[in-house]
Amino acid sequence: MIRVPISEFLEIYLGAVLFWTFAVWLISNWVRRRRDIAARRLVIRCTICGHQFRDPSQNPLTRCPACGRLNERTAYSGL
Ligand SMILES: [Zn+2]
């Protein structure tokens, strides 16, 4: 059995907990960000009427359901 003073054991334990908490936070943040980017690719805002709609197709041009104008698929910033 390895003898470790209680202060070193606490340092190692707290360091490991801190490391895993940071790693889980980093991974969950990365997953959420990729999900947001993927969701934004589907949202199109009409350049004429400003109507926002989702289009899951991969067509470069899509028709606005409100005014009927063809819109190019561009990255949607959200605001
Ligand atoms: Zn429109």
Exposed e or buried b per residue across 8-19, where buried means at least 16 C-beta atoms within 10 angstroms of its C-beta: eeeeeeeeeeee
Q: How many domains does the chain have?
A: 1
* 48 C-alpha to ligand 1 centroid (Å): 5
Q: With respect to residue 78, please indicate whether it lies within any of the assigned structural domains.
A: no
pLDDT tens by residue, 3-22: 889 999 999 999 999 999 99
* 65 C-alpha to ligand 1 centroid (Å): 7
Q: With respect to residue 30, please indicate whether it lies within any of the assigned structural domains.
A: yes
Angle among Cα 61, 64, 65 to the nearest 5 degrees reads 135
Contact 56, 42 (CB under 8 A): yes
Q: With respect to residue 60, please indicate whether it lies within any of the assigned structural domains.
A: yes
* 60 C-alpha to ligand 1 centroid (Å): 16
Q: With respect to residue 49, please indicate whether it lies within any of the assigned structural domains.
A: yes
Q: With respect to residue 40, please indicate whether it lies within any of the assigned structural domains.
A: yes
pLDDT tens by residue, 19-31: 999 999 999 999 9
**How many helical (H) and strand (E) elements, i.e. helices and strands, does the chain have?**
1, 4
pLDDT tens by residue, 24-69: 999 999 999 999 888 888 889 999 999 999 988 888 899 999 999 9
pTM of the model: 0.58
Q: Which domain holds residue 31?
A: 6-72
Q: With respect to residue 77, please indicate whether it lies within any of the assigned structural domains.
A: no
